[in-house]
Every structure is written in structure tokens, then in C-alpha cells.
């Protein structure tokens, strides 16, 4: 692999099955350089990925668009707190962190169940459906609407924006930019409304009324927070749910174990996240030249940190290429590590648990309808299904 500098996480081959590529890189070329996308280094071993995530002084996130390789939509504002390094990062993050705790999310769970039940009903009746298009996708966006205290009907627009931004960024830039502009206008309006009429325990109200270094947040900062929440909280969770349901469709034995022993589900979800990480890789910019395995990574280089590969590293996970729903311990990096560890992890876990529990309770005997109709998400930094047709026995 070292001689081949054409690694491309968006190639069709990689999207279909990235794991043999990761394996070769971990074994033979742990600081791989690819010439694609103006050149980027690729870190694939668990310890290197973890170290890079923890060391923001070298591997910085402080640049609009840095986490996306190639950069997605051009922006003149930072997504907050994702594209800010400590110490400001901590200050921003703590403004809202109390709204993302396990307890705060638990209070919303009855609403999550109602949404899941409503979406499953027509699928149950038809005895067939698409677990991504008809279930995970609308479920995640409606749950996010509930969490953000906006009308669930708004979520329909978000689904289109997310699709246009994430799927269109490689093929239809104008469309991605248009969707991004619409999302920004929506976030600006919502922030202004919450500044006028704040609500209790609400993210946008908290931001609109809180202070940073003794002053209110600027409209650019509110925009940076809001756009990140809409972007970070959708396709990731859709992938988490879709990947888990795909696995359970294909592995009837494990599905039966979960039906007989629901206590295994929380651990199984961690293993699904490890085994099929919804985010495979994100970018960083190197702030000062660094040397790794005798290879120099120059200042200003782009580096991909591959969570998806770290999570298959056999140095850390015995039988790493096997999905073992009772794996313990499971120190996976699917939610990242260090300062930027996923702020929405409790929400994501709750979404996955409720979505899977409701399927297992209502329609436990499902199978992939026609494998030929399965579609993967069309880019390799996220891993999941865009179409997952199933039918029930
Ligand atoms: C299964 C679903 C999800 C996965 C796998 C996931 C994964 C991740 C990862 C790997 C990061 C670290 C990014 C980095 O290192 O640069 C991250 C950050 C973040 N995630 Fe998630 N995420 C999920 C769902 C969510 C949800 C539902 C929300 C909220 C609505 C959310 C909000 C965030 C935010 C705000 C950050 C930035 C945190 C910071 O910079 O301090 N995520 N996520």
C-alpha cells in the first residue's frame, strides 16, 4: 500500500468494504499519504488515532470545514464547538452540556417511543418497508425536532438539507450550497425567535441568552452552534440505527439472543458502533510539524483520523473483525475521544436503543427484502445504508 498514493475514502470499492484497506494500512503503512483531495495523511492504528484526537496542540480542529475531507460547503463561520480548539472549546461546550446529559435525554424517551411506533405502524401493516427511508431517517429527524423543541413538521426540510449537503457535496456542489444557505436561514430565524421568547431547558434558548467571556453570543456563533447540531445529529444516528438493523436482519442467532435477553442490548449497541462505525473518519489540520514512525507530517497538512479503522485494530480488540454483542471491555472510538467526544452520545444511544427495541417488540422477524436494492451512503467518511428494504415473516 505504501507505494499506492491513491487511497480515496470516497471510492466505490472503499465504500463497499473499507476493512481490508484499513487492515493493510495498519499493518504496512500506518501514516499513509494519499494524493487525493490535495493530499492527506491517513492514521489508522487505534493508539495513533486516539493520540491525535487527544492532542489538539498538533492536530487542530480550528478551521471551518476541517473535519470534512474534501471540505464540504465553504463557510465563513466555525461550527461550534466542533471547529474550535481548547481553551475556548471548553467554554463554548459547557454552555449547553447540561442539556445533553443522560437524565435530560431520559425525560424525552416517551416521545421517542411514540415517534417510533407511529413510523412502524404502516410498515407492520404492509409487512415490508425500508428501514432507512421509512424508519431511521424520519425517526432521527423527528426526535431531533423534539429535542430542539421545534415542530416535528420542520424535520422534513432537514432531511432534504442533510441529503443535499452530505450526498451532494461530491457530485452537485451548487445544490449542497443551496441547502446549506437554507439551513443557515432557518437557524438564524430560530435563534432570533428564541432570543425574543426563551423557553426553559431548550438548547437554542440557552445559547441565545447565555454569555461567553462576559458578552452575549454573536449571531455568527449562534449560527455555528445551530448548523452543527442539525448536521451532526442526523445522518450519524440514521447510520447507527440502519447499521444495527442490517446486522440483526443478517444474524438471526444474535437477534434471537437479544429477544430472549434484552439486557444484552446496551452492550450490543456499543458493539454495533464499534463494528460499523457511523463516522469512519474525520479531518484535522496539523498545527506544527510532527514526526510519526519516522515520517514527517508537515505543518498545515490535512490528516484523516480513522475511527472506523481504530475500532477494528486487533491490538486492542481481540477478534476485531467479529461482531460480538457481549464484547467486554469495548473501548471503541465511535464517538471520538478527547475534547470533541460526541456531545450527543447519550441522545444517540437512546435513539438507537428505542429504535431497535420498538422493532424487536413489534416486528422481530425481518429479513433483507432484496440485497440488490440495498444502497450504501455514497461517501466513505460516514458508513451506513441509504436504502435498506426489508420484509417480515
Ligand atoms: C450514532 C450517532 C453518532 C455518532 C457515531 C457520533 C459521532 C461523533 C464523533 C466521532 C464526534 C467527534 C468529532 C471529532 O472528533 O472531530 C462527534 C462530535 C459531536 N457530535 Fe456526535 N455522533 C452521533 C450523534 C450525535 C447526535 C444525535 C448529536 C446531537 C444532536 C451529536 C452532536 C455532536 C456534537 C455537537 C459534536 C461536537 C462536540 C465537540 O466538538 O465538542 N452527535 N460525534
Reference 367, options 256, 249, 285; nearest CA is 249
Q: Is any atom of ligand 1 closer than 6 Å to the C-beta of 308?
A: no
pLDDT for position 168: 74
> Is there an atom of ligand 1 within 6 Å of 360 CB?
no
For the chain, give every domain's residue range.
Answer: 12-392
Q: Which of 271, 388, 279 is nearest to 324 (CA)?
A: 271
Instruction: Give 37 Cα–ligand 1 centroid separation in angstroms.
Output: 24
Handedness of CA 326, 329, 331, 335 (dihedral sign): positive
Query: Does the beta carbon of 145 lie inside 6 Å of ligand 1?
Result: no
Distance CA(357)–CA(353), nearest Å, equals 6
- What pLDDT is attached to residue 162? 83
- Cα separation, 277 vs 297, in Å, equals 26
Query: Three-state DSSP class for 21?
Result: helix
Is the pLDDT at 313 greater than 60, yes or no? yes
- 193 versus 74: the higher-pLDDT residue is 193
Largest Cα–Cα distance in the chain?
A: 60
Least confident window among 56-65, 71-80, 90-99, 199-208: 71-80
- In CATH terms, 12-392 corresponds, of 1.10.3430.10, 1.10.630.10, 1.20.1250.40, 1.10.150.120, to 1.10.630.10
**CA 275 – CA 311 distance, rounded (Å):** 7
User: Is any ligand 1 atom within 6 A of the Cβ of residue 95?
Assistant: no
Is there a contact between 186 and 165 (Cβ–Cβ < 8 Å)? no
CA 85, CA 184: separation in Å to the nearest integer? 23
Pocket lining: 93 vs ligand 1, CB cutoff 6 Å: yes
Give the model confidence (pLDDT) of 66-107 as tens digits: 999 987 667 889 999 999 999 999 999 999 999 999 999 999
Closest residue by Cα to atom 32, ligand 1, is 344
pLDDT per residue as tens digits for the range 146-179: 999 999 999 989 988 988 887 777 778 888 889 9
Full-model pTM: 0.97
Q: Which strands, in side-by-side order, build the sheet including 389-392? A: 128-130, 389-392, 366-368
347 lines ligand 1 (CB under 6 A): yes
Q: What confidence score (pLDDT) does residue 72 get?
A: 64
Q: Is the CB of 14 under 6 A from ligand 1?
A: no
For residues 234 and 147, is the Cβ–Cβ distance under 8 A? no
Question: Mutation test of ligand 1: which of 72, 79, 147, 344 has the most ligand atoms closer than 8 Å to its C-beta?
Answer: 344
The pLDDT, as a whole number, for residue 3 is 45
Share above pLDDT 70 across residues of the chain, in percent, rounded to a whole number: 98
Ligand 1 center–CA 182 separation, angstroms: 22
Nearest ligand 1 atom, CA 53: 15
Specify the residue with its C-alpha closest to ligand 1, atom 23: 236
Distance 65 CA to ligand 1 centre (A): 15
* pLDDT tens per residue across span 335-354: 999 999 999 999 999 999 99
Q: Is the pLDDT of residue 1 over 50?
A: no
The CA 248 to ligand 1 mean position distance, Å, reads 24
Ligand 1 close to Cβ of residue 240 (< 6 A): yes
Whether the CB of 307 sits within 6 Å of ligand 1? yes
Could you tell me how far CA 39 lies from the centroid of its own chain?
24
Mutate to test the pocket of ligand 1, among 230, 342, 343 (most ligand atoms within 8 A of CB): 342
C-beta of 237 in contact with ligand 1 (< 6 A)? yes
User: Which of helix, strand or coil describes residue 296?
Assistant: strand
387 three-state secondary structure: strand
> pLDDT at position 4, please?
63
Please give the pLDDT value at position 2.
47
Straight-line distance from the first to the last Cα atom of the chain, in angstroms, rounded to the nearest whole number: 45
In the 8-state DSSP scheme, what is residue 97? G
Any atom of ligand 1 within 6 Å of the Cβ of 348: yes
**Is the CB of 305 within 6 Å of ligand 1?**
no
Nearest atom (ligand 1) to Cα of 82: 40
Q: Check residue 79 and give its pLDDT.
A: 96
The residue contributing the CA closest to ligand 1 atom 1 is 237
Q: Which residues pair with 43 in a beta bridge?
A: 31, 305
**pLDDT for the residue 5:** 64
pLDDT above 50: residue 310: yes
Evaluate: CB of 229 within 6 angstroms of ligand 1. yes
Which pLDDT tens digit goes with each residue over 234-258?
999 999 999 999 999 999 999 999 9
Q: Give the residue, by CA position, lying nearest to ligand 1 atom 6.
A: 335
CA distances from 45 to 7, 306, 353, 361, 383 (A): 16, 8, 29, 38, 18
Q: Is 161 in the pocket of ligand 1 (CB under 6 A)?
A: no
Mean of pLDDT over the chain: 95
Amino acid at each position: 500500500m505504501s507505494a499506492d498514493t491513491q487511497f480515496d475514502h470516497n471510492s466505490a470499492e472503499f465504500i463497499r468494504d473499507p476493512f481490508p484497506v484499513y487492515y493493510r494500512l495498519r499493518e504496512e503503512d500506518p501514516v499513509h499519504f494519499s494524493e487525493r483531495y490535495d493530499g492527506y495523511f491517513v492514521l489508522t492504528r487505534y493508539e495513533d488515532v486516539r493520540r491525535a484526537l487527544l492532542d489538539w496542540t498538533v492536530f487542530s480542529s480550528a478551521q471551518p470545514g476541517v473535519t470534512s475531507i474534501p471540505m464540504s460547503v465553504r463557510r465563513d463561520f466555525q461550527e461550534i464547538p466542533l471547529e474550535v480548539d481548547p481553551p475556548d472549546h471548553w467554554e463554548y461546550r459547557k454552555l449547553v452540556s447540561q442539556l445533553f446529559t443522560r437524565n435530560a435525554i431520559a425525560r424525552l424517551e416517551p416521545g421517542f417511543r411514540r415517534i417510533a411506533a407511529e413510523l412502524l405502524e404502516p410498515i407492520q401493516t404492509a409487512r415490508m418497508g425500508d428501514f432507512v427511508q421509512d424508519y431511521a431517517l424520519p425517526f432521527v429527524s423527528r426526535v431531533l425536532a423534539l429535542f430542539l423543541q421545534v415542530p416535528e413538521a420542520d424535520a422534513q426540510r432537514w432531511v432534504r438539507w442533510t441529503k443535499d449537503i452530505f450526498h451532494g457535496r461530491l457530485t452537485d456542489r451548487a445544490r449542497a450550497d443551496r441547502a446549506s444557505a437554507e439551513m443557515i436561514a432557518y437557524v438564524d430565524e430560530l435563534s432570533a425567535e428564541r432570543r425574543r421568547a426563551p423557553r426553559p431547558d431548550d438548547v437554542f434558548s440557552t445559547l441565545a441568552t447565555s454569555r461567553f467571556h462576559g458578552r452575549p453570543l454573536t449571531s455568527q456563533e449562534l449560527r455555528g452552534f445551530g448548523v452543527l447540531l442539525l448536521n451532526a445529529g442526523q445522518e450519524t444516528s440514521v447510520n447507527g440505527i440502519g447499521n444495527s438493523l442490517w446486522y440483526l436482519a443478517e444474524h438471526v442467532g444474535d437477534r434471537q439472543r437479544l429477544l430472549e435477553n434484552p439486557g444484552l442490548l446496551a452492550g450490543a449497541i456499543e458493539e454495533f458502533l464499534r463494528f460499523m462505525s457511523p463516522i469512519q473518519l474525520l479531518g484535522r489540520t496539523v498545527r506544527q510539524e510532527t514526526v510519526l514512525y519516522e515520517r514527517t507530517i508537515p505543518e498545515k497538512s490535512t490528516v484523516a483520523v480513522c475511527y472506523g479503522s481504530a475500532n477494528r485494530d486487533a491490538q486492542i480488540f481481540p477478534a476485531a473483525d467479529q461482531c460480538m454483542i457481549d464484547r467486554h471491555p469495548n473501548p471503541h472510538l465511535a464517538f471520538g475521544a478527547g475534547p470533541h467526544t460526541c456531545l450527543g452520545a447519550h441522545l444517540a444511544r437512546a435513539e438507537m436503543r428505542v429504535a431497535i427495541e420498538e422493532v424487536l417488540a413489534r416486528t422481530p422477524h425481518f429479513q433483507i427484502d432484496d440485497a440488490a436494492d440495498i444502497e450504501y451512503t455514497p461517501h466513505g467518511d460516514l458508513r451506513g445504508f441509504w436504502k435498506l428494504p426489508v420484509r417480515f415473516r
